[in-house]
């Protein structure tokens, strides 16, 4: 312990702490526990505490030095450096000081500036150096007492890093230990899921330390440390694009930082009214392609909601929950399976095809007319929710629209052309529809024409205890309309109503007792294309569901929007 006071004094001089500075942390356990809980002792300090991991930040091409003291000879030493978002260059040196630096030679302490000069001029003995982005350690079973200097440099960009140093490596074990086989295995692979498995760390099971696992998923590369993954996540979150040196901020930048633009002429004076400059600094939102999920102590995990036929990289980290230190397993990568190739449905000229699409699913239809043609007529009748329709002729996109109800499209023909129709379902639920494609000219459409508004209107003032009067719009084409009624419970809700709102289910699916009447109707003047009907034989105080079906010349029918009416209870 003869040199202990000398080393401590030199370290205090280097740090400019003066004679009344804090006591340097040692591995006196009681003092260590007290100091490590007081974060202010090491915040923005060049002192490395014994037995605790610290975080730091490097500016590019600007070295940073850290110091710590080994007080006794033949002391074990371990130093671990973890680069985060860039490769680092670092070296560890033992500072050589003259004997009188201990302050015990002449009994008279040297001037402070002379002591500092002795330390800074002498570069010391280099013990270890490394350049790269791996987590690297210097380990020695026996080291001399003295002042140790760790110098770090980032030549690529500003970067975060972590450092851990200890003189009791055997008992500390700060990082979770990896199993004998540290690889992450892919045990199951699907179109949107990947199942991972790995062997548990002995730190949790044998040593009883609190350990959890965190899984990181991204599309670029594997990460060598949790620190590197978290740096990438932070970079993807919300950092604003910095303006080029020498240019003013745009008004957007001040708003981005929470300042409200004022009308005091500040922007005008500094030339901030230019649209060109403002556009140059507008930060576009970026969707992060990296995810981190911590799953507790399970060592099997299924990653879901992935994209088909896409390569992903998977990393697993064992994290000590008490110290927040982590160790990386050997990561892996996998490509999800391709979407199952869907069978293409062949459409026959002039024939109606029934199509079912799963929720958020797709279906492909192919129409290849046998004879040459000038025009193709496409009819689409959606039964439930709206469906997106895309039509390509020999690979060229002809139309892309959302269709609800009955729609007719006229497509320009081409000799020997082939048409590919893609139907994409709704997010709300499964979709059913009827599709017909034909090259044959016909004055009579297979589907009935519909007005833009397919609601049924009920007249409240004409409502009685036994009847209800309703009206609906028609078209200029002469069509057959059939009215049906059904008694329902008073609490009949929208969800039941939606389930029964299948526009492709025709009158043939209804009971004969529910039929009210059928009639033909049209009007050359669309402004007068409205008809009314009074439904009789109803019971007082009851709720009825009314439906109107319009039937086309080929027998295909379309149902109007259902209407709930309630008869008067007292008359």
What are the residue ranges spanned by the domains of the chain? Answer: 52-96+124-172, 174-237+287-340, 345-438, 456-566
What confidence category does residue 242 fall into, taking pLDDT thresholds of 50, 70 and 90? very low
pTM of this structure: 0.49
Tell me if 174-237+287-340 shares its fold with 456-566: yes
What confidence category does residue 537 fall into, taking pLDDT thresholds of 50, 70 and 90? very high
Ranked by mean pLDDT, the top range of 243-252, 420-429, 532-541 is: 532-541
Q: Mean pLDDT in the chain?
A: 78
* pLDDT for position 271: 37
- In the predicted structure, residue 38 carries a pLDDT above the cut 60: no
Residues 6+ apart with CB under 8 A from 469: 458, 459, 462, 463, 532, 533, 534, 535
Q: What is the pLDDT of residues 317-365, one digit of tens each?
A: 999 888 888 999 999 999 999 877 768 889 998 888 989 888 888 899 9
* Residue 160 near residue 85, CB atoms below 8 Å: yes
Question: Which residues on adjacent β-strands are paired with residue 438?
Answer: 377
- In the predicted structure, residue 210 carries a pLDDT above the cut 90: no
User: Which position has the token pair 């620190």?
Assistant: 227
Q: Does domain 456-566 have CATH number 3.40.50.300?
A: no
Cα 71 to its chain centre, rounded Å, is: 51
Higher pLDDT, 153 or 445: 153
User: Which burial class, exposed, middle or buried, applies to 7 when counting CB atoms under 10 A from its CB (0-12, 13-18, 19+)?
Assistant: buried
* Residue 439 near residue 373, CB atoms below 8 Å: yes
* pLDDT for position 539: 93
What is the CATH topology of the domain spanning 174-237+287-340? Immunoglobulin-like (2.60.40)
- 483: number of Cβ within 10 Å: 21
Half-sphere CA count of 244, side-chain side, radius 13 A = 4
Considering the chain, what percentage of its residues have pLDDT values greater than 90? 38
Question: Which residues on adjacent β-strands are paired with residue 444?
Answer: none
Q: What is the pLDDT of residues 99-150, one digit of tens each?
A: 544 444 444 544 434 444 444 445 678 999 999 888 999 999 999 988 999 9
Burial 451-478 (b: 16+ CB within 10 A, else e): beebebebeeeebeeeebbbebbbbebe
DSSP sequence for 47-101: BPPTTEEEEEEE-TT--EEEEEEE-SSSEEEEEEEEE-SS-EEEEEEEEP--GGG
Q: What is the pLDDT of residues 467-478, one digit of tens each?
A: 999 999 999 888
CATH of domain 52-96+124-172: 2.60.120.680
* Residue 380 near residue 411, CB atoms below 8 Å: no
Cα 368 to its chain centre, rounded Å, is: 41
The Cα 419–Cα 2 span in angstroms is 92
What confidence category does residue 446 fall into, taking pLDDT thresholds of 50, 70 and 90? confident
The residue-averaged pLDDT of 173-198 equals 92
Q: To 10 degrees, the CA torsion angle through 14, 15, 19, 25?
A: -110
Q: What is the pLDDT of residues 212-224, one digit of tens each?
A: 999 999 999 999 9
- In the predicted structure, residue 21 carries a pLDDT above the cut 60: no
Question: Which residues on adjacent β-strands are paired with residue 471?
Answer: 457, 532
What confidence category does residue 42 fall into, taking pLDDT thresholds of 50, 70 and 90? very low
Higher pLDDT, 282 or 500: 500
CATH of domain 345-438: 2.60.120.680
């Amino acid at each position: 312990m003869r040199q202990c006071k000398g080393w401590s004094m030199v370290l205090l001089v280097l740090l400019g702490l003066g004679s009344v500075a804090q006591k340097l942390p040692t591995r006196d356990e009681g003092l260590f526990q007290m100091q490590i809980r007081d974060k202010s002792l090491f915040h923005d300090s060049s002192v490395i505490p014994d037995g605790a991991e610290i975080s730091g930040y490097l500016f590019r091409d600007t070295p940073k030095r850290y110091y710590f003291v080994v007080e006794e000879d033949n002391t074990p030493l371990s130093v671990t450096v973890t680069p985060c978002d860039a490769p680092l260059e670092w070296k560890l040196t033992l500072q050589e000081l003259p004997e009188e630096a201990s302050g015990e030679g002449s009994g008279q302490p040297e001037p402070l500036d002379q002591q500092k000069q002795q330390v800074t001029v002498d570069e010391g003995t280099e013990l270890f150096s490394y350049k790269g982005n791996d987590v690297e350690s210097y380990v020695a079973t026996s080291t001399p007492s003295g002042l140790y200097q760790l110098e770090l440099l980032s030549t690529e960009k500003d970067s975060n890093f972590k450092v851990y140093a200890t003189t009791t490596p055997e008992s500390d074990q700060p990082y979770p230990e990896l199993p004998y086989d540290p690889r992450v295995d892919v045990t199951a692979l699907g179109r949107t899921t990947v199942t991972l498995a790995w062997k548990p760390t002995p730190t949790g099971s044998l040593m009883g330390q609190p350990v959890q696992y965190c899984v990181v998923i991204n599309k670029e590369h594997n990460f060598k440390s949790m620190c590197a993954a978290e740096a990438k996540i932070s970079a993807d979150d919300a950092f604003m694009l910095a303006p080029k040196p020498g240019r003013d901020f745009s008004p957007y930048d001040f708003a981005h930082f929470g300042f409200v633009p004022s009308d005091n002429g500040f922007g005008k004076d500094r030339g901030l009214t230019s649209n060109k400059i403002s556009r140059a600094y507008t930060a576009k939102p970026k969707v992060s392609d990296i995810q981190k999920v911590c799953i507790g102590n399970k060592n099997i995990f299924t990653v879901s909601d992935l994209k088909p036929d896409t390569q992903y990289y998977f990393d697993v980290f064992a994290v000590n929950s008490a110290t927040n230190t982590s160790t990386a397993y050997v990561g892996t990568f996998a490509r999800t399976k391709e979407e199952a190739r869907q069978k293409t449905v062949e459409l026959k000229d002039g024939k109606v095809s029934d199509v079912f699409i799963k929720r958020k699913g797709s279906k492909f239809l192919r129409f290849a007319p046998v004879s040459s043609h000038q025009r193709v007529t496409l009819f689409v009748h959606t039964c439930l929710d709206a469906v997106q329709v895309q039509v390509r002729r020999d690979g060229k996109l002809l139309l892309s629209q959302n269709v609800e109800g009955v729609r007719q499209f006229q497509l320009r023909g081409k000799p020997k052309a082939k048409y590919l129709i893609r139907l994409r379902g709704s997010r709300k639920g499964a979709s059913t529809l009827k599709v017909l494609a034909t090259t044959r000219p016909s004055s009579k459409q297979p589907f009935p024409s519909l007005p833009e508004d397919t609601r049924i209107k009920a007249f409240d003032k004409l409502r009685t205890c036994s009847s209800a009067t309703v009206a609906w719009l028609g078209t200029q084409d002469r069509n057959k309309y059939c009215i049906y009624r059904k008694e329902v419970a008073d609490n009949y809700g929208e969800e039941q109503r939606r389930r029964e709102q299948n526009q492709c289910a025709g009158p043939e699916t209804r009971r004969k007792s529910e039929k009210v009447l059928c009639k033909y109707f049209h009007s050359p003047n669309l402004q007068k294309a409205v008809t009314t009907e009074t439904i009789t034989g109803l019971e007082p105080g009851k709720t009825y569901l009314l439906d109107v079906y319009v039937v086309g010349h080929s027998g295909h029918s379309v149902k109007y929007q259902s209407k709930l009416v309630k008869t008067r209870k007292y008359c």
